[in-house]
Amino acid sequence: MEFEFWWLLALPVFFGMGWVAARVDLKSLLSESRALPTSYFRGLNFMLNDQPDKAIESFLQVAKENPQTVELQFALGSLFRRRGEVDRAIRMHQDLMNREDLPPEERRKASFELAEDYFKAGLLDHAEEVLTKLAEVDPTPSVHRNLLDIYIQEKDWAKAIEAAKKLEVSAKRNYQKEIANYYCELAITEQIHGRKEGADAYLDRALESNRKCVRANLLRGEWRSRDGDHAGAIEAWKKVEEQDPAYLGLAAEGMVESFKALGKLTEGLTLLRGLQHRYPGLDLLNVVYQATAEAEGDEAAWRLVREEVRRNPTLVGLDRLIDAELLRAPPERRQDLQLMKNLVHSHAQALSVYLCGTCGFKARQFFWQCPACGGWETFPPRRTAELDTAGRHLARMQIGQ
């Protein structure tokens, strides 16, 4: 690169421009600093010295002396809510709402923050009232999502369905899985009150919303079985295979009881063994094992579980195999087998849990709605031990390819 003489002339010009810009910024900064009250700097000092309570009082003084500091009032309101001082947050946001000179966008924000305060305080009716009015002028996803949260907490499933449908439009996201579960909740309420036709109609609506809604067919099978319609119950449970065969373990026990009631246990065992062979699962295996032991004896049950563990080796499956071995073992071997059983069982129990795929919450029983994060159908119907085995099996297949 050759040196150009004009660069020497340009350097003083660039230097002068930088000096002017710095002077302008400095003057602006000094002007803004003089405009701020001393309470503001006192508050900053308290914050820097880790004295949040005194800092808040100083900032409150700034807000009183300078009503135009809207952003500071918003920040204080949010801080109060996070600290659990919801009453102070409510007053702060109500004061903002009462200001006649507040711009429309700031008023919308104050309404939303006030609804958040009410929700945090457990005043769901107040929060719903504010959000409902806000939704008329501001149908954004955040407003609809908060309304949906309120209806779920209140278990007002009819309103939850309407809110979810509006949220689908505003958020441009499919909520049919959630809507189907809300219909299932309505069906359960109808069933509890003895309104069987209403319950059945809501299950139909659930399947219309989401044809993969396994929960609807599981409920229908359970209720038909309870009413003595065992053929209808089995028909409903069989549909689970078409929707998601991973859930068959949740239907297996009911299917065995209905086949027994119809005097067709052999036919039922043949069906369930075929399903277990095609869609291996620990819950399904446990049911088939118990039913085989009762119908055909311990030896048949042992052969069944031995073949299954060979096909799909899991610690939980090994635990079940040792159970079968104990039943057929001679007395002199039972002490050693029992010791082995105790060791394996303790580890198998630790793995035999359901795991929420969203938040990682662990549970011994299956939930349609996670108790921790509130998500719907976030629990895979397989326990962690099975998921680990499935992952290793998939890895082996990929390596083989």
Q: pLDDT tens-digit profile of 219-266?
A: 999 999 999 999 999 999 999 999 999 999 999 999 999 999 999 999
Residue 266 CB coordination number (10 Å)? 11
79: pLDDT strictly greater than 70: yes
Q: Is-contact 281 316, C-beta < 8 A?
A: no
Q: Is-contact 108 130, C-beta < 8 A?
A: no
Question: What is the chain's mean pLDDT, rounded?
Answer: 78
144: pLDDT strictly greater than 70: yes
200: pLDDT strictly greater than 70: yes
pLDDT band with cut points at 50, 70 and 90 for residue 399: very low
Q: pLDDT tens-digit profile of 371-395?
A: 999 999 999 888 775 654 444 443 3
Q: Residue 96 and residue 386: Cα distance in Å, rounded?
A: 55
pLDDT band with cut points at 50, 70 and 90 for residue 397: very low
pTM: 0.74
The mean per-residue pLDDT over the stretch 85-101 comes to 80
pLDDT for 386: 62
End-to-end CA distance of the chain: 55
As annotated, the binding site includes 356, 359, 370, 373
The mean per-residue pLDDT over the stretch 66-76 comes to 66
33: pLDDT strictly greater than 50: no
- Which residue in 272, 200, 206, 282 sits closest to 241, CA to CA? 272
The mean per-residue pLDDT over the stretch 27-42 comes to 44
122: pLDDT strictly greater than 90: no
The mean per-residue pLDDT over the stretch 300-306 comes to 79
pLDDT band with cut points at 50, 70 and 90 for residue 184: very high
As annotated, the binding site for Fe cation includes 356, 359, 370, 373
pLDDT for 52: 54
pLDDT for 217: 97
Q: pLDDT tens-digit profile of 337-384?
A: 676 666 666 656 666 788 898 998 988 888 999 999 999 999 988 877
Q: pLDDT tens-digit profile of 219-231?
A: 999 999 999 999 9
